[in-house]
Structure formats: structure tokens, C-alpha cells
A and B are shown apart, each in its own frame.
Chain A
Amino acid sequence: MESYVPILVSALLTALIVLGLLLAARLMRHRDSPLTDREPYECGNEPESYAHDHRFSVRYYMIAVLFVIFDVETIFLFPWAVLLDKLALFGLIEMVVFLAILVAGYVFVWRRGALDWA
């Protein structure tokens, strides 16, 4: 049981800090502009209209998903590049296989038109 004490302490501290910050914000914030407080993006400009009044193209979503996929690919490349001398030929082949599978996916999304904006 004793080994759980640090976790308890950390949980308590986290709760305290969150509550403290919320309380501090409540005490210290300006109260002069009740309307702009409730804007989704409080940045000084009044928004033209609201986001849920519009339909967004599904392409934003597609691009975001594709970005994440290829971004993760890059993340895999970094540790591999650092350790390349130890991984030797096997690592190189392994990475080529990995990239080849990704390229197949890339060719697919490209030809399928997921990257066309118009």
C-alpha cells in the first residue's frame, strides 16, 4: 500500500493546482465584457458568424487524417535514422518494406482523389 502514497499525493496536488487556478481566474478576470467572454475564440475580433451555421467540406477532415498518417511515418523514421549503423542492412530492408507499404497507401489516396482540393 505504501508505494501508492506518492500517487495519492500527486493526485491531491493536481486537484489543488487545478482548483487554485480556476479560483484565481474567477477572482482576477475582467468583468467588463460579458458578451465577448462567451465567444468560442476570444481574440478581440467579433466573429462573422458561428461555426455550426456552416457546412464544412469533408476534405478538411481527409487532409487532417492523411497528415496524421504521414506524420507518424516521419516519427518512425527518426529513431531508425539514429540507430541505422546498429540496425545495419536488416534495418534498412525493414524500413524499405515499411515505406513501400506506405507508398502503396499514398498512391492509393492520391489516385483516389483524396488530395485534390477542387
Chain B
Amino acid sequence: MSSPFPAPAELLALAPEIALGLLGCLLLVVGVLGRGASHRLAAGLALGAVGVSAVALWAVAGEFGGGRLVLAASFVLDRYALFWKALVLVATALAVVVSQRFVEEGRYRPGEYYALLLLAGTGMLLMASGHNLLVLWISLELMALASYVLAGYFREERRSQEAGLKYFVLGAVSSGILLYGISLVYGSLGTLRLDEMAAAAAAPGAADSRLLAAGWILLLSGLLFKVAAAPFHVWTPDVYTGAPTPVTAFLAAGSKAISFALLARVFVQGLPALAAEWQLLLAVVSALSMVWGNVAALTQRNVKRMLAYSSIAHAGYALLGLVAANRVGSWALLFYLLSYVFVTFGTFAVVILLERREYAGETYQDYAGLARRAPFLAAALLVFLLALTGIPPTGGFVGKLYLFAAAVQAGWAWLAVLGVLTSALSLYYYFRLVVWMYQQEATETTPTPLAAPSLVGAIALCLLATLALGIVPGPFVALAQAAALSVP
């Protein structure tokens, strides 16, 4: 008789998640024992936890790298999962670094804050390898619950409270929709496992089921909410603006990228039989996001809000990779999001350096004369904005190039044209900021950027990654190609 319980060796595949989650709980407890951990200690512990998890990931990658299903096939370790896990750990580490100043200045309990970051990171790690719809849903919730609290962390500030509450209410609704979709998909295919789903949906007649159609459309809607694609984007500007900026960076980079990973896995691996249908729907969503995000960003006066709309537009670009999930699209998506994570963190790190309490330093005017006062910061921000627009020599350019090429190759030329046109539009609002930095003089009310070595270090790292991805994309493309999942 085979035991229903997993062999302990199978649990080893979860070592990175276990390490990060356990150390997160430990940090929570350490943070309240005695006089509590100091800011430096808590941040150090959090970075250490990410490091331990990274070592575990490295060990696991050697052991299970070839692609393995464990724990009753609810958890998969393939190159795709490893790619995303590595990216999640980078994003979590960057989030810890850029959060330090916010936590210290607000005199928050550091243990609590970093523990929430680590737990959100644990959820993201699990999302990268879920191979069962319920496991995917629970890991998504683990990430989301921690994010809701983080979004409202700036407790005294009404806008942050609003962000937390809005994110929570809308997030809960979308999770409900997602769960309903999962239940309908289960009802029509009789399984929650992605590989069995693919087989069941490929059976003759299965794809015509209306129950299945309702199920996958709801599933898609719930996930599109998480990646902030139009028309499921309404929460994004308010949450991104109201949440503390380090949290915004974490949401915009980490949470968005990993939600894309989940979306791609569920649809590419679980429902390839219906690819023509969901790709059509995603093409519409992608077009809407590109147009709406870019047009709405034109009129913003708050930099964080502009970046929120720009992130909606970027969700639209990234969706091109799924719309064209032929060979090129599948890995272009990975490459694009890889570059997007670094660019987003870099941009928000510059915003953080200019911020004061009460959200000062968020309007375009606050960037006046930055080029003279802090040449490195201005130059770095310039590169990040080039990358966001999609201009060489940055990773953003290479990513967009591959995405548009993939769309054309898959016969979606009009979408690619729309993407190029909206990118041109985005030049206006990104470069308005550049004009402020380089061609205006600072006034007395302009905030001076902080001298925070760790933040400047994070910006330098992101800058390096953005340029490396743009100038020598070869190795990263190879990495993305090896990790990609494509519709057969």
C-alpha cells in the first residue's frame, strides 16, 4: 500500500519557501521579544532570510532542475519556476533595501514590516511553482494578504489607509471571482492539476463546454486584476499612490511579475487546447491596457500616479507575450518582466530618495534641477525612463522589440502597431520628467535628495542590470528561452 503522505525528500523541493516563511515567522517573534529588534538588525535578518532562501534555491535547482512534480503533483519545479523564484528573491531583497528608510523614519516596528515582506515573498515563491489551481490560489492569497497590510502601512496617512482598504476590498472580490472560476473549471474538467486539465480540455468536445468557458473567463478576470490590466485596473492608481513608496515598488515589480508568471502557467500549461480563444480575449485586454494606461498617464501631475498608469500600460505590453505565446512570445514575456522588475525598482528608488513624510516630493516640480543637484540620480532616472519608453540601450528596448516581433510573427500585427504607437505617446509623459530634471532650476521648496548609501546602491544595481539587459541581452535571452513555457 502506498502511503498517502509525501516522503520527506519531496518536501526538500520546498526548501526555499520553507526557509523564507519560517524565517519570516521568526522575525515576527524576534521583533516583539524583549525590546524588539533594532532597525538595522531587522533589516539584516530579513536580507539574511532572503539569502538563506537563495542558497536553498540554488541547492534545489541542482537537485530537481530537470522539471519534477512533487507532493501529489501540486508543486512543480522546472526551469520556469526556478527563473521566477530567483527573480522573486531579487525583488524581495530590493524591497528590503529600499524600505529601510521608510521604516526608520516612520518609527514602525521593523520586525513586523519585514516579516510581512518575507511572507509576501513566500507566497510569490509558491506561486512560481503551483501546479494545482488551489495551491496557486492559496499562494496568491498569502502574497495578497501581506500586500494589503503593507499598502496600508502608513497608518497616520489617510491616503495610505484608503489604499489599504481599497486594495483589500477589491482584492477580496477578485479572489472570489478567481475562486469561482476555479470551481467552474473543476466542475467541467474534473481536475485541478494543470497537466490533467490540459489533457481533459483536449478531449473531443470538451473545449465546447460553456461551463468551461465561464470558468476560464472568470479565472482570467481574477488574474488580470492582479496584473493590473485594463479593464481590471481601477484600483491601481489609488493603491500605488497611497501605499508607502517602497511597498508600491514591491507591488509594481514583484507582485505584478509573479502574477504574470502564474497567469502564463495556468493558461499555457493548463489550457493550451483553448489557446485561440484566450489569446483573442487577451489581445483585447492588451490593446485596452496599452491605450488606457498611456492616455491616462498623460494628464497626471503626481509622479507615483503617472507610474501607476504606466504600469497598467506595461501590463498591456507584457500581455503581448501571452497573446503570441508561440516560441518568441513565451520567452519575450520572461525577458521583458526581468527587465521591468529592475527598471521599476530603480525608478521608485529615486522617487523614495526625493520623498519626505506627507508625500512631498511626488510632483513633477519636485524634480526640478535634479540634474545639477544629484547628477547620478538624474542620469539613473533618465536611463530608467528610457527603458520604460523602450529606447536603446536599455533592457526595456530589447524586451519590447521581442514582444512586438513575437506579436507580428503570430499574426497580431495591428497589436504590435498599437504598441509602437502608444510607446511613442508614452515618450511625452516620461520625458516631461526629464525636462523638469534637466532644464528647470530648483527652487527653495524643491526637496533635496537624501544621502542614503543603501538606496543609491540599489539604484546602481538596477541601473547596471537595465543597461546590461540592453547592451548584452544574449545571455539573458538564453536564460529566458531555457525557462519559457510555450503553447505547443
Q: Which A residues are closer than 8 A to B by beta carbons?
A: 90, 101, 104-105, 107-108, 111-112
Contact = CB atoms under 8 A, between A and B. Distances in A.
A68 to B, nearest CB: 15
Contact of A90 (B5, B32, B33): B5
Contact of A104 (B3, B5, B29): B29
A104 B22 CA distance: 10
B25 interface: yes
B215 to A, nearest CB: 19
A107 B5 contact: no
A64 B26 CA distance: 25
B455 interface: no
Nearest to B31: A108
Contacts of A112: 32, 109, 112
Contacts of B5: 90
Contacts of B112: 112
Interface string B76-117: 000000000000000000000000000000000100100000
Interface string B22-60: 000110110111000000000000000000000000000
B33 A104 contact: no
Interface of B: 3, 5, 25-26, 28-29, 31-33, 109, 112
B432 to A, nearest CB: 44
Given A101-B25, A108-B32, 8 more contacts: A104-B26, A104-B28, A104-B29, A107-B29, A107-B32, A108-B29, A111-B32, A112-B32
Contacts of B33: 107, 111
A104 B32 contact: no
A104 B3 CA distance: 30
A98 B132 CA distance: 21
B71 to A, nearest CB: 13
Contacts of A111: 32-33
A91 to B, nearest CB: 8
A90 B29 CA distance: 26
Q: Which 6 A-B pairs have the closest CB atoms?
A: A111-B32, A90-B5, A104-B25, A108-B28, A107-B29, A104-B29
20 contacts: A90-B3, A90-B5, A101-B25, A104-B25, A104-B26, A104-B28, A104-B29, A105-B28, A107-B29, A107-B32, A107-B33, A108-B28, A108-B29, A108-B31, A108-B32, A111-B32, A111-B33, A112-B32, A112-B109, A112-B112
Nearest to B32: A111
Nearest to B115: A108
Contacts of B29: 104, 107-108
A111 B32 CA distance: 6
Nearest to B6: A90
Nearest to A110: B32
Contacts of A104: 25-26, 28-29
B243 to A, nearest CB: 22
B18 to A, nearest CB: 10
Nearest to A103: B29
Contacts of B31: 108
Contacts of B26: 104
A103 to B, nearest CB: 9
A111 B29 CA distance: 9
B70 to A, nearest CB: 15
A112 to B, nearest CB: 5
A104 B30 CA distance: 10
A55 to B, nearest CB: 18
A90 B10 CA distance: 13
A111 B34 CA distance: 9
Nearest to B34: A111
Contacts of B3: 90
A44 B32 CA distance: 48
B385 to A, nearest CB: 41
A102 to B, nearest CB: 10
B145 to A, nearest CB: 13
A16 B112 CA distance: 53
A60 to B, nearest CB: 20
A104 B115 CA distance: 12
A101 B22 CA distance: 8
A111 B109 CA distance: 12
A111 to B, nearest CB: 4
Contacts of A105: 28
A88 to B, nearest CB: 8
A31 B3 CA distance: 67
A24 to B, nearest CB: 36
B485 to A, nearest CB: 32
Nearest to B5: A90
Nearest to A87: B5
Give the one of B31, B32, B33, B109 with max A CB within 10 A: B32
Contacts of A101: 25
A104 B29 CA distance: 6
A105 B27 CA distance: 11
